[in-house]
Every structure is written in structure tokens, then in C-alpha cells.
Amino acid sequence: MGNQSTDRVAVLAAHDISKEVSSPEGSLTILADVSFSITAGESVAVVGPSGAGKSTLLALLAGLDVPTRGHVELNGANLSELDEDGRAHLRAESVGFVFQSFHLVPSLNALENVMLPLELAGGGDARSASLDIIDKVGLSDRWRHYPAQLSGGEKQRVAIARAFATEPAVLFADEPTGNLDSRTGSNIMELMFELNYSSSTTLVLVTHDHSLAERCERVLSLDIGRLVSDSKGPA
């Protein structure tokens, strides 16, 4: 997608990325020559059937893994040129995550979980910033609770608070409603879009759910490791 308008800057770009893994039957291609770029503030859904390579693409875009060929540019940095700690540094500065299974640290309470990325990035007053955002996700009276004491929806709210705490340039969400009932799920998505809008974060959302995907500005469809369509949504 080369023709970006000049006033909008590409915050995330995939340049011909491929991912191959070795398997008993030889080399297996999970992702083949995928290219696109996403501009700041955009909300993009990645859809496709199981095994299409959605999670792999997400891992490569976020620098959790490196492509076999091609490279990813995140916030102006070529991820392939960074070592693991370098990528970690970049994530701490400009990336937030929301996972399907929440991934909260069980030994920390809600507040401490939200503070974690702020502290890793070495920001200022992690505590009051975290309390603010916890308030925004509607858990101001539950911040002392540990993950085991929270419901699924509450856990995901904490995870969303954690993801937005650092005001990341890009927020990656991997099936954020996959482990929630539909009602809680739609509440959670409501919250996520709201925060995304108000903080003008770029959102990359991996999902099965087409109704969810349609709420994004843009939908990337993957099938068997290839990008099969790139369409603007209704927004």
C-alpha cells in the first residue's frame, strides 16, 4: 500500500515479510511475502481462518519474533536490526498488548499489573498515572484485587488499562474477546475503541469476529499465509 497521503506518517510497516519454520516434513511457510503499512491513529483488523498466520503476523509486527525474510519497521526502527533487548526496549516505549487470555501477573494486584510497563519504561509517577487509567476502565474500587479475585471481564479491563498506561504508539490486541461471553466482550471492545479514539493510538486487532473487524477503519484478510485483501471499513 504505497500511496499514503503525505500528512499521515507510517507508524508500522511490513516489507515483504515471510516466516518459515522447520517441521518433520521439511520447511513450512506460515507467512509469505506480506507487505503493508499502517499510519498513526489507524485502527486495523487482521482477519482470517484458523492457521491463516494471523498470530504469526502479530508476533512479527510486535517484534516478539523475527521474520525469515523481509523486515518490519516500527516507529521508524527496523526490528530485524535490533537484538532481543533492543526490541524489548522499543516495545516498552511504543507498544501495548491485549491478549486473549489476559496474561496478568498473578503475584501482583491490579494496580501493580498496570504499573508494570510504566516502571519497565522508567516513566515518572507510575502510581498516580495507573490509578487514573484504572479509573477510566471502571475498576477504581478494585485496584487492590489480585487477578485470581477478578472475573474474566475485569481481568481484561486491567489488561486494557495496562496496555494504554504507557500511551503506546501501537496497540496490539490478540482476540481480546475470545475468552469472554458476548455481552462482556462487546463492553470490552467498546472500552477499547473509546480509549483508542481518545488517545489516538494505532490499533492492530487480530480477530475471528467479523462484526468486530467491521468496526475498524481497515481490514486485512489473511489466508494460508498470504494477504488476500486490504479493505477500508465503514469508519
Partner 1 sequence: MKAIAFALRSFGRELRSGEVLVLLAAIALAVAALTAVGFLTDRIGKAVARQANEVLAADLRLRSPEPIPDDWREKAAEFGLQVAETNTFPSVVFAGDLSALATIKAVSETYPLRGNVRVSDTLFGEQRVVDGIPRRGEIWADGALLARVDADVGDKLTVGESNLLVTAVLTYRPDQSMGFASLAPSLLMNIDDIPASGLISEGSRVGYGLLVAGDDTVVDAFNEAIQENLTASVRTSNREESSDRANNAADRAQRFLSLTAVISLLLSAVAVAMSARRFAHRRMDTVALMKSLGATQRFVISVAVVQLMLLGLAGVIAGSGIGYAAQKILSWILADLIAGDLPGVGPMPVFLASGSALVLLIGFALPSLIQLRNTPPLRVLRHDAMPPAPSRVLVAGLSLAAVAALLYRAVGDAKMLVILLGGIVIIAAALYFVGRILVASMGHFRSGVGVAWRYGLANVARRGRDSAVQVVAFGLGLTVLLLLTIVRTDLLQGWRQTLAADAPNHFMINIQPHELDSVANIYAAEGIDVPEFVPLIRARMSTINDVSVKEREYPTPDGQWMANREANLSFAATLSSSNELIEGEWWPQDYAGPPLVSVEEGAAVETGLALGDRMRFMVAGQEIEVTIASIRKVNWDSFKPNFFMVFSPGALDGMPTTYIASLRLEKEQQPVLVKLVRAHPSISVIDLDSILQQVRGIIEKASVAVQAVFVFTLAAGIAVLFAAVQSTIDERRFESAMLRALGARKRTVFAGVMAEFAALGIAAGVLASAGASILAWIVAVRLFDLPYEFNPLLWMVGLVAGVTVVCASGLVAARGAINAPPVEVLRAA
117 is an interface residue for partner 1 by CB under 8 A? yes
Position 74 contacts partner 1 (CB under 8 A): no
Q: Which residues contact 133 (CB under 8 A, 6 or more apart)?
A: 114, 161, 164, 165
Q: Does residue 75 belong to the site contacting partner 1 (CB under 8 A)? A: no
Strands 10-23 and 69-74: antiparallel
Task: Report in angstroms how near the CB of residue 85 gets to partner 1 at its nearest.
Answer: 5
> Can residue 33 be called a binding residue for partner 1 (CB under 8 A)?
no
- Closer CB to partner 1, residue 122 or residue 124? 122
DSSP state letter for 73: E
Residue number, 112 or 209, with CB nearest to partner 1: 112
How many residues in total does the chain contain? 235
* Amino acid letter, 80: S
Residue 215: DSSP 8-state: T
The DSSP bridge partners found for residue 26 are 23
Among all chains, which residue has been given the C-alpha cell 492457521? 51
**193 binding partner 1? (CB under 8 A):** no
Tell me how far apart the alpha carbons of residues 140 and 130 are, in angstroms, rounded to a whole number.
10
In the set 132, 146, 178, 223, which binds partner 1 (CB under 8 A)? 146
Q: Does 16 sit near partner 1 (CB under 8 A)?
A: no
Binding site for partner 1 (CB under 8 A): 55, 58-59, 62, 64-65, 84-85, 88-93, 95, 97, 99, 103, 105-108, 112, 116-117, 119-122, 146, 162, 174
